[in-house]
Amino acid sequence: MHKPIWVIVLLTLGISMVGCSSGNGSNSTNVNGTWSASLTDSQSGQTTYAFTTTLTEVSGGSVSISNFTFTSTGSCFVEGQTTESGTFTLSGDFNGNVKGTFGMTIQSTTGGGPQLTLQGGVGSNNTITGTWSLSGATGCSGSGNFTFTRM
């Protein structure tokens, strides 16, 4: 008599674990993949910077950033002369309500060069949205909004 109850419990557990797994589908709950970023100026609304990169979650909430390439740059950064670092935290429930925070820093490797800082969170439709600021060098300052879109 107790055997059918255990079968139901095991089946329910198995189904719930499948529903919680993360994959590469459109509802993926991780940051892994290739992303395109567009940073717009808070004053003009024009795209100030754009880049593509590959993000990979690693332990402790940090993000490995590779294949970073500016697709449009201002005069503040030289292609290939930057270092990038990032963080990503994720929380949610079994009803599909996913929340997360994202941070990324792009630092010029030239002495006294600028630093671009992005802070945001999980948006809709495989996006990360938030604000950015640029500081650290004469003539290199600004702020605005950004959108990361999974490619």
Residues 12-16 have a mean pLDDT of 40
The answer to whether the predicted template modeling score (pTM) of the entire model surpasses 0.85 is no
In the chain, how many domains are there?
1
What pLDDT does residue 17 have? 37
- Asked if residue 17 belongs to a domain, the reply is no
Residue 12 lies in a domain: no
Reply yes or no on whether the pLDDT at 57 is more than 90: no
**Is residue 10 one of the residues assigned to a domain?**
no
Nearest to 70 by CA among 52, 88, 82, 87: 52
Q: Is residue 34 very low, low, confident or very high in pLDDT (cuts 50, 70, 90)?
A: very high
d(CA 126, CA 8): 34
Question: At 29, is the pLDDT very low, low, confident or very high (cuts 50, 70, 90)?
Answer: low
Distance CA 46, CA 142 (A): 12
The domain of 136 spans 33-150
Residue at 26 is within a domain? no
Please provide the average confidence, as pLDDT, over all residues in the chain. 80
**75 pLDDT above the threshold of 50:** yes
Residue 19 lies in a domain: no
In a domain, 20, yes or no: no
CB crowding 112-145: b at 16 or more within 10 Å, else e: ebbbbbbebbbeeebebbbebebeebeebebebb
For residue 123, the domain's CATH number is 2.40.128
- Residue 132 covered by a domain: yes
Please report whether residue 1 resides in a domain.
Answer: no
